[in-house]
Structure 1
Amino acid sequence: MIVSLLYKVTRKLLSVPAVLLRSETVKDAELLVLRHENAVLRRQLAGPVRYEPADRLWFAALAGLVDRRRWREVFPVTPGTLLAWHRTLVARKWDYSARRRTGRPPTRAATKSLVLRLARENPRWGHRRIQGELARLGHHIAHSTVWQILHDAGIDPAPRRTGPTWREFLTAQAQGIIAADFLHLDTVLGRRLYALAFLEHGTRRLHITSVTANPTQAWTTQQARNLTADLGHRTESLRFLLRDRDGKYSQTFDAIFQSDDLRVIKSAPQAPRMNAHCERVIGTIRRELLDHILITGESHAHQVLKTYEDHYNRHRPHQARDQLSPEARQHPAAVHDLAAHRPHRTRILGGLINEYRQAA
Structure 2
Amino acid sequence: MQINQLHRFAVAPMMDWTDRHCRVFHRLMSRRALLYTEMLTTGAIIHGDRARLLGFDASEHPLALQLGGSDPRDLATAAKIGEDFGYDEINLNVGCPSDRVKDGRFGACLMAEPALVAAGVEAMKREVKIPVTVKCRIGIDDQDPELALDALARGVIAAGADALIVHARKAWLNGLSPKENRDVPPLDYDRVYRLKAAMPDVPIIINGGIAGLAEARKHLAHVDGVMLGRAAYQEPWRLLAVDPELFGEAAPFTAMKDVFEAMIPYIERELAQGTRLHSIVRHVLGAFHGVPGARAFRRHLAENAVRPGAGANVLREAVALVEDRKPAAIAA
Q: Do they superpose with TM above 0.5?
A: no
Instruction: Give the TM-score taking structure 2 as reference length.
Output: 0.26
Q: Which has the larger radius of gyration?
A: 1
Tell me which of the two structures has the higher relative contact order, counting C-alpha pairs closer than 8 angstroms and 6 or more residues apart.
Answer: 2
Q: Which has the higher helix share?
A: 1
